[in-house]
Amino acid sequence: QEDKFKKVVSHAKEYGFVFQSSEIYDGLSAVYDYAQNGVELKKNIREYWWKAMVQTHENIVGLDAAIFMHPTTWKASGHIDAFNDPLIDNKDSKKRYRADVLIEDYVGKLDTKIEKEVKKAAKRFGDAFNKEEFLATNARVIGYKEKGEAILKRMGKSLENEDLADVKALIEELEIACPLSGSKNWTDVKQFNLMFGTKLGASADTAMDLYLRPETAQGIFVNFSNVQKTGRMKIPFGIAQTGKAFRNEIVARQFIFRMREFEQMEMQFFVRPGTQKEWYEKWKETRLKWHLSLGMGKDNYRFHDHEKLAHYADAAADIEFKFPFGFKELEGIHSRTDFDLSSHEKYSGKKLQYFDPEINKHYIPYVVETSIGLDRMFLAVFSNSLQEEELENGTTRTVLKLPSVLAPTKAAILPLVKKDGLPEIARKIVEDLKWDFNVAYDEKDAVGRRYRRQDAVGTPFCITVDHDTLNDDSVTIRYRDTMEQKRVKIKNLRSIIKEEIEI
């Protein structure tokens, strides 16, 4: 699995999807750039989301709020006081860790111990079943599992109670029980705010301290009244937006899974108080359906319902995806109550209420939010699509089986040879199709190598112009996933491709 992840990262670089930011200066940690193919894939994911959320919902409208917001926004939202991660330094290695992630890693190590036990036992039981031994192993395994759960619970409680000394004590105990970092010399645990600060204005005395937004949601809340009134929106309704968010993450690893600058796709759905549970369930289901519509395998998704809730929520769940490094959060669905709007009303002194003509009442709406990271979605799609296939002739091919609707290039047009008028016909097909889809033209190398290049960047169709084309106005269309080839008329190409890339 680690191998798979390494392949994902190197394939993303080699084929122009994702580069380390400022690589010529040795890069910037947890910041990435999207290259020629990556930018197309990312745009297609964003559009696929926008279509599902805004274009096809009469009662959901879009917004593009600024990244800079009035600093009081972040006081009202709770980010200044509570958007923290606990961190701890190891004095020997000078390494910095997120305390909660470190503890999870220790528990992960316990899990590995369990797996080893089970494997050993299975081997032994294969030879001769021994009831006593089976029961003893079983008890040990259960013991580990319970221990792991108890540790995570204790950590959750300590963090909730701001008992950071206990978090440190837990790390010290765990390091002795199952060594991970190799040294025992820790600093105290400190809370670290994840927001990036900056300044607005030139002169030192009048400059205003600002933050780069750590989530897009607040841009929606502060615009609630403006949108509701100008759009004459009736509850229930939603406001959606995509855009950059910034977090000074302490643990910056796992490629584009956890970045310091990333993009979110969020929708805040405003509902009548008391109906939030119903809408929360509905959005959980709707969002899972959206994921499944891409055909990436239903076993790769699962819900994780939160027991421990953020200060603003009355219910929360994650849609987790099976990344190469295991099941991890891809999207969050949160029932945020009226926390945000009430708080902005309090801090701004402006009424953020809605008059509901059906019940003849003013109230602050409740909010159900769906929030997904665009870059995380990119990683989910990209890693799931990257496959190595053994072919019948004994060779292997690397193929990126992206859902066609998301593929950066929909079709590559390939003249079989660089002469006899074939390039001219191929160029003409490109000219004709390029207004409808992204198409590529490639005449270099043998056609087999060109097919492989297109497989590696996920192009669903290769269209080859050969000598027969001169007589029958037909071309060969080759399907990426099956490698099947068909002869089709040039004039039918547009409709064939269109049909295949629609979901």
Q: Give yes or no for residue 249 binding ligand ATP (CB under 6 A).
A: yes
Shortest-Cβ-distance residue relative to ligand ATP: 373
Residue number, 320 or 432, with CB nearest to ligand ATP: 320
Q: Give yes or no for residue 375 binding ligand ATP (CB under 6 A).
A: yes
Sheet with 411-415: strands ordered across: 439-441, 411-415, 461-465, 474-479, 485-489
The single residue listed with the structure tokens 């993450």 is 249
Give 429-473 as a DSSP string: HHHHHTTTS-EEE--SS-HHHHHHHHHHHT-SEEEEE-TTHHHHS
Q: Quick check: 316 and 306 in contact, CB under 8 A?
A: yes
Q: Quick check: 479 and 461 in contact, CB under 8 A?
A: yes
- In angstroms, how far is the first alpha carbon of the chain from the final one? 30
Long-range contacts at 485-491 (CB < 8 A, ≥ 24 apart): 490/425, 490/429
Q: Identify whether 236 is preceded by a cis peptide bond (ω within 30 of 0).
A: yes
- Using CA of residue 333, residue 337, residue 338, residue 344, what is the dihedral sign? negative
Among the residue ranges 21-29, 68-76, 370-378, 431-439, the one whose residues contact ligand ATP (CB under 6 A): 370-378
Of the candidate residues 376, 401, 410, 450, the single one contacting ligand ATP (CB under 6 A): 376
Map residues 396-435 to x or -, x wherever contact with ligand ATP holds by CB under 6 A: ----------------------------------------
Q: Quick check: 17 and 34 in contact, CB under 8 A?
A: yes
Least Cβ distance, residue 258 to ligand ATP (angstroms): 4
Least Cβ distance, residue 406 to ligand ATP (angstroms): 17
**C-alpha–C-alpha distance, residues 501 and 503, integer Å:** 6
Q: Give yes or no for residue 476 binding ligand ATP (CB under 6 A).
A: no
Q: Give yes or no for residue 315 binding ligand ATP (CB under 6 A).
A: no
Number of residues that bind ligand ATP (CB under 6 A): 16
Q: Give yes or no for residue 320 binding ligand ATP (CB under 6 A).
A: no
Q: Give yes or no for residue 330 binding ligand ATP (CB under 6 A).
A: yes
Among the residue ranges 46-54, 356-364, 372-380, 384-392, the one whose residues contact ligand ATP (CB under 6 A): 372-380
Residue number, 247 or 291, with CB nearest to ligand ATP: 247
Q: Which residues line the annotated binding site for substrate?
A: 98, 215, 262-266, 369-373
Residues that bind ligand ATP (CB under 6 A): 215, 247, 249, 258-259, 262, 264, 329-332, 371-373, 375-376
